[in-house]
Amino acid sequence: MNYLIIGGSKSGKSHISEQIALSLNKDKAVYIATMKPFDIEDEERIKNHIKAREGLNFITIEKQLSLHEIVNEIKENDTVLLDSITSLLTNEMFAGNEIVTDPSIKILTSLDLIMNKAENTIIVSDFIFNDSMEYDDITEIYKKELGIINRHLARICENVIECSFGNIKYHKGGN
């Protein structure tokens, strides 16, 4: 079973994704953490996420880019929670001295490998498309790449959930 969970910042999507992961496999869930902290707020957010998972049978893999490198660590009966696509995209797009303008290709290839191997996959992503502002070219590329990833995942996942202020709405599925 594959889930895509989308929402804005602090919408409750991480909490919902953790609940779903544990409902699918209460004995062990693999948590792929992609956030690279850039400031104190990021570090606090990571600490809070780790604290929330204490004692819940999550095995955490910190992997900020190149997800294909951890596919062999995933077993066929695993439930995998990846949090988040947005952080992963940032890390892949700005990994070196140059801006990668098509990181969605690498990300989707890696996600397909993980999703084809694991029994269950829960993927967390952000919704950043609800304003009418025009941004600089780099930000527009980022938004476009996130849109490509989210659309692909929405197409192939059996369940697509939107989180908003702790509320959940199924756009697809509903199990």
Whether residue 106 is annotated as binding a ligand: the answer is: no
Q: Following CA atoms 46, 166, 57, 66 in sequence, which dihedral angle do they give, to the nearest 10 degrees?
A: -50
Q: Does the annotation place 8 within a ligand binding site?
A: yes
Residue 14 is assigned to a ligand binding site: yes
On whether 12 is known to bind a ligand per the annotation, the reply is: yes
Tell me the two tokens of residue 72. 């062999």
In the residue annotation, 49 being an active-site residue is answered as yes
Could you give the C-alpha distances from 83 to 19, 73, 98, 104, in angstroms and in order? 13, 17, 25, 16
91, two tokens: 């890390």
Residue 9 annotated as binding site: yes
Does the annotation list 10 as a binding residue? yes
- How far apart, in whole angstroms, are the C-alpha atoms of residue 175 and residue 159? 8
Is 164 one of the annotated binding-site residues?
no
| Cβ neighbours, 10 Å, residue 139 | 12
- Which candidate in 15, 49, 68, 152 is catalytic? 49
According to the annotation, is 7 in a ligand binding site? yes
> Quick one: tokens of 38?
């850039």
Q: Which residues are catalytic?
A: 49
Binding residues for GTP: 7-14, 62, 83
Residues annotated in the binding site, as ranges?
Answer: 7-14, 62, 83
